[in-house]
Amino acid sequence: MSRKPIIAGNWKLNLTVDEGVALVQALAAPAAASKAEVVVCPTALGVHAVAKAAAGTAIGVGGQNCHWEEKGAFTGEISASLLKAAGAKYVILGHSERRQFFAETDETVNKRLKAVLAQGLIPLVCIGETLAERDGGKLEEILSRQVKGALAGFTAAQLSTLVIAYEPVWAIGTGRTASTQQAQDAHAFVRSVLRGIVGGLADAVRIQYGGSVKADNAKELLSQPDVDGALVGGASLKAADFTAIIAAA
């Protein structure tokens, strides 16, 4: 089955609002020329302005996280409906940095996913193993647990827009990248797990690779049959670098 590649830039805690707007303006032409779906995920403060700058272009805008509740006494949090109102169409969920630094769990990813889908937003659900888990032979155990935990209780129909981002934790921001074969093997395994949950929809679900994706390795990674795009960190902060990755797709 043909799946449209999705290239998403996770800006993390980088770029001012003005810098984000300028970057989107620089990416507009490359995104329009690409066959891939192009997304940028600025800080929460930048979502509204970046979405306005991206209006009328081929660039979609997403949030980097959201709370599972719609409103209430949750100081510092942002709901899916607030992101939507600000112009977001996508939301990253369960990124390894959220798991590592902010106590994110498979259960809370599941709750956030419910909130995101209720607002009609497209979820980018992150999964991935640590180096110790990979070296300990637990790769499939970890990925299976994370996928099943995130998607527990949902029907295939509810998950029709789902995007999975496989990010080996040991390759995020380290300069190390999974080999092309390691990436393909992990993606194929994740798709097999999805098949057990959502049946035939698994062949339509896009699975991105994330983990030190750069201009010089993107083409080879994206050439793999089960690698349907990339979730890009540092290389998404510079127009030239991100443009090269968009072009590789």
Hey, which residues are catalytic here? 95, 167
DSSP state of 121: P
- Helix/strand/coil for 59: strand
Of 6, 63, 12, 68, give the one whose Cα is nearest residue 38: 6
Helices 215-222 and 180-198: crossing angle, nearest 10°?
A: 50
> What separation in angstroms does the CA of 155 have from each of 30, 182, 191, 196?
36, 29, 16, 12
Residues 226, 249: Cα–Cα separation, whole Å: 13
Please say whether the beta carbons of 114 and 66 come within 8 A. no
